[in-house]
Every structure is written in structure tokens, then in C-alpha cells.
Amino acid sequence: MSETALPPRSAIAPEHTWNAPSVFQTVDDWHAEYKALMADLPGLGAAYQGRLADGPGTLAGFLDAYETLYGRVGKIVVYASMMSAVDSADQDAAAMAGQAMGAYSRVLAAAAFAEPEILAIGQDTIAGWLRSEPRLAPYAHYFDNVFRKQAHVRAAEVEEVLGMLADPFSSVAKTASLLANADIQFRPATTRDGQTLSVEQGNLLSHLLSDDRTRRQTAWESYTDGYLSFKNTFANNLATTVKQDVFMARARRHASALESALFPYNIPTDVFHRLIDTFRQHLPTWHRYWAIRRRALGVETLHPYDIWAPLTANRPHIPYPQAVDWISDGLAPLGEDYVAALRRGCLEERWVDIYPNKGKRQGAFSSGWKGTHPFIMMSYNDTLNALSTLAHELGHSMHSYLAWQHQPMVYSDYSLFVAEVASNFNQALVRAHLLATQPDPDFQIAVIEEAMFYFHRYFFIMPTLARFELEMHERVERGEGLSADSLIALMADLFAEGYGGEVHVDRERTGITWATFNHLYANFYVFQYATGISAAHALAQGVLDGKPGAVEDYLSFLKAGDSRYPLDALQLAGVDMRTPEAVETTFGVLASYVDRLAGLVEAH
């Protein structure tokens, strides 16, 4: 596969693409189901609105009917969003994705009457109905959560309007995605020998991982300059999302956007602030790593585009089937059933849209719904980093797979707070396996580089973005404005602190980093990458150490889905995120990688 140009979507072999026909056989079938769902939707309110207090049977009937509609719209959303993600230039798919989000918004709006009616019934009455109606028994946690949120649930008319806002509000994130993935034209990168190479979302990482510093520099500068050329649009877009977050917080009578974002998951804001405090205390570990990397590369000044540069020329070439084998071996402690399901997904059932193509959106993600496969979109390129990305996304997918098998629709998802635990857990176990079975020093360096790649993203970039996000929201809450230049300056200042004088700060190009992360359109999501990697490493250590019950407890956590509050689910697995212990432990793991890398580089 040429590095100079990505193949069109049509050139990718079907066996290397996600299994779209398993959701809908054809696009026409999708459109038919969309029309059928829209026709059926009014029946929910007609049958149940104003009647939930009639008795436990009526309430159970409503919940059954709503779950059926929710399952149907989920398949519509998954199909359209995956179609659009693998080819952002496909305008029909983009239109379908917009329709799907509209359908999802309408399903939420159609059921908006339910929670106010449930609250009016009263918690004591609901408790009695739970005992008398077996169909309601599985909803005990759901009802507990409804009454917990009572102070922030508005009247039915207000809830209906807030539900309808999901679609227009989602357009802001879609605008940013289309701007980044379809409209920005990045100028070519240049190699040390003068060759020009295209720069696209799907191949940026391959440029940054190159041993050619000229290529890295020109690709990074092209990429950041592409975003800078639209800085005002991106800034206005992000500011709009922040204002939406503040609006929703105030509409639901929360003290802040941060509190509003964490309240649905029953997470105190102290968890966020404790993470940031611990992160700042451990910045010297990162400063030491930058210094080691600069010496290993033999450069006078370390630049941001050097952060991904290889420290060994002998990097392993890992085809996709080999990656699946090594991932399976690393996850063997979780048992035969876990590994067998994972292998079927990767090699037979086509969970994974594997290789890059022109128009494929940046990054990787796991998608799906109860009733579909847990699909993965990525751009596998035969590197150790690609293996690790696959292991990471399989963590998400296996979390979904087990939750869907063991939970009803109401608990079939899991919160953002626990979403990054299974993914990082998988990576921790696979790294341990590779370090234990691949003694070659070059391979060991490559494994640690891969670990540092993810630690850099989750334990450096994401907490830095979290600090940025908090300041943005607080400025809007104080009535202050946000502009492109002020956001760039804030971001540059935060990175300067994190780099500690060991990395050169190109203030404009470093400062535009916020625009390259669509994660900021999910209210206070980014800090949860850092809490997720912390919980993951604490739990993985128990499994690697052979702690009694560690595997069983971890699998119970995966199977629990959303049937417990996130902090309680993690406590079931064996880690308490109400304290800083897991974050401290994971900084210890980070420091051990830095120490090991220093020794390997010195002996290399």
C-alpha cells in the first residue's frame, strides 16, 4: 500500500470491512426501517402518555415498548454512523447519519413524558410495584437513578424540548468533524530527499512515526497549519458547544457545567479535581521522559513532532493476523470464552473495518448497539502501535459484547467514566505479554515506546485538555468570551507547563491542539481517559500478579454494563476511584517505563 496516496473506499476488499449486512442487508433496507420507525413512534405517546400511574403493568408495558424502539433506532444510528465514518466523502452516508441522529432525538423526545410521570407516582409506590410486577424488577437501579436525579428533572414540556435539542446540538460536533475530515486540504509533507507525501487524517500518524525528521516536521506543520487556517471557525464552533453545556447545566439547575456533566453518573466533582491535582504533582516524571527522549534522538532541541519519533530503527512489522494472535495470547488470563469471542470477531464475524482508505475519518473507535456486533473502525498499518490500537478497541468491544449478553437494554451501555477502563486494561495485559516473550532489545524499546505513546495521549494530553476544558467553561460561566487567539494562548500555556522547558513550544501550532480533538464536544469527557487508564492499570496489576478473584471480579465488571453507578462498578472490579490511589499507582507504572527505557537506550 503506497504511502503517497490512500486507496479509495471501493478498493478495500469486503472481508476487510465492517459487516454492514449483519445490521441491514442493503441501504434500501435501512431507509425502509427508518420510515417504519418514524411511523411507529407516535404510538408510544398515544398508548402510554398520561397513563403510567395506572398501575405496574402499564408501566412495565411502556418500558418494554420504549426499549423496542430504542433498540431499533440504535441499529439505524450504528449503520449510518459507520457508513459515514469509513468514507466521509460519501454524501449519501452523511445525509443518513444526519437522519439517524434526528431519529434518535425524536425517540428521546417521544419518551420525555415518562420520567416526570414516574416521579409523580412516587418512590414508595414504585418500590411496591417492583415487588408485585416481575417485569419491573430488573429496573430497580434505573428507578433509583430517576429519583436521585429528581431535583434536576423539569416539567414534561421542558423535558420534551430538552430532548428535541439533542439533534440540533449534535450538529456542532458534526460540523467540526466534517470540517476536519472532509474540507481541510493539508499541504503535502516533504521527506529529507525532497519527495512529497500527502497529509490526511488517515495517514498523519505514519508521518509522525517516521524516522525522517523532515517528514515529521513538515507533516506536523502542515496538519496544524490546516487547522490554524480555520481557527476562527473551529473556535466559534467549540465556543458554541461550551455555551450549550452551560445552558444545559443551568436548564437543569446545576451549579456548573462540570457538575452537570458528572451528575448523571453519580460522580462527585472532587474526582475530577483530584485527578488534575495529582497530574500536576507528577509533571516532573514527564519532564524526565522528554529529556531522555531528546538524548536518545540525539537532537539539541526536542520539538512536538519528535514526541512520536522512533528510538530504534528495527521496528517490528506485524500483519493483522499476527496482531490478533498476540493480542489473544496476552489476554489468555481472562479465559477461553473471552479469547474465543474476540478471535471470532476479528477473523470471522468482521467486527473490524481494518485498513485505511481515502475519506476514512481519523482515529479509531468501537461502535454498536445491543443486537449488533460491537464494530471497530480503525486504520491498521502493520505497526506495533496499530496492534495496540486494535487491542484497545477490542477492550471496548468486549466490554459491550459481555454487557449486551448479560444485561437488558436499559443497562446495555456503560458510562463514559468506565469506558476507557477495558480498553487500557487490554493494552496493559498485551504489553506485559510482549515484554515477557520478546526479549530482543529493539522489540522491548518498541513496546515501551508504544506504551509511552498511549500514556502520552491519556496521561498527558487528556489531562491537559481537561484543564483547558475546565477553564473554557468557567470563562463562559463568568460571562467572558472565547476567541481563537485566547484559546490558542491558553492551550500553549498549559503545554509549556507540561513540557517543563524540555520541549520547544511553537505557540501557534501547539496552541491549536484543541481544534484537533473532537472529544471536546463531549462535555468533560477527556479527563475520563486519565481516570480510565488509572483504573485499568490498577486492575491489570491484580490479574498479572495472580491476585485471587481478580479475573472473576474484572469480568463481573464488564458484564455489569450500566447496572451500577460507575464508581460502584469499578469497586466491584476491585478499584476505588474515590481516592487518588489508582492514579498514583499508574504514575508509578509510567515512571517504571521511563526508567526501563532509559536503561535500554543507554545500553543500545
Give one DSSP letter per residue of 268-314, joined into a string: -HHHHHHHHHHHHHTHHHHHHHHHHHHHHHT-SSB-GGGTT--S-S-
What is the number of alpha carbons within 13 Å of residue 508 lying toward its C-beta? Answer: 11
Query: Comparing C-alpha atoms, which of 593, 465, 587 is closest to residue 529?
Result: 465
Q: How far is CA 163 from the centre of its chain?
A: 23
Q: Taking a C-beta distance cutoff of 8 angstroms, is the pair 580, 274 a contact?
A: yes
Sheet-wide strand order for 365-367:
352-353, 375-377, 365-367
393 is catalytic: yes
Length of the chain measured in residues: 604
Q: Which of 160, 221, 393, 420 is catalytic?
A: 393
Dihedral, 90, 91, 97, 103 alpha carbons, nearest 10: -150
Helix (H) or strand (E) holding 471: helix 462-477
Let me know the angle formed at the C-alpha of 215 by 487 and 507, rounded to the nearest 5 degrees: 20
Residue 86, C-alpha cell as written in the block: 469509513
Amino acid identity of residue 203, one-letter, is N
CA distances from 361 to 117, 307, 355, 356, 380 (A): 42, 23, 12, 9, 13
Query: Comparing C-alpha atoms, which of 131, 121, 124, 111 is closest to residue 48?
Result: 111
Q: How far apart are CA 227 and CA 422, in angstroms?
A: 32
Q: Which residue's entry shows cell 500527502? A: 198
Dihedral, 356, 359, 364, 366 alpha carbons, nearest 10: -110
Residue 495, C-alpha cell as written in the block: 503545554
**Catalytic residue numbers?**
393
